[in-house]
Amino acid sequence: MRVHKDIKISLDKGNSVILVRLDLSAAFDTVNHDLLLSKLEQRFGITGTALNWFKSYLCSRAQFVSVNQSHSTKRDLT
pLDDT digits (tens, 9 = 90+) for 6-45: 999 999 999 999 988 877 777 777 788 899 999 999 999 9
Is 74:60 a contact under the CB 8 Å cutoff? no
Tally of domains within the chain: 1
Q: Would you say residue 20 lies in a domain?
A: no
Phi, psi of 75 (to 5 degrees): -125, 135
Cα distances (angstroms) measured from residue 52 to each of 12, 43, 44, 59, 64: 34, 16, 14, 10, 24
Is residue 60 in a domain?
Answer: yes
53-77: average pLDDT: 89
Q: What are the angstrom distances between the C-alpha of 7 and each of 12, 23, 26?
A: 9, 20, 28
What's the pLDDT score for residue 29? 74
Do the domain assignments include residue 1?
no
Give residue 46's pLDDT band: very low, low, confident or very high (50, 70, 90): very high
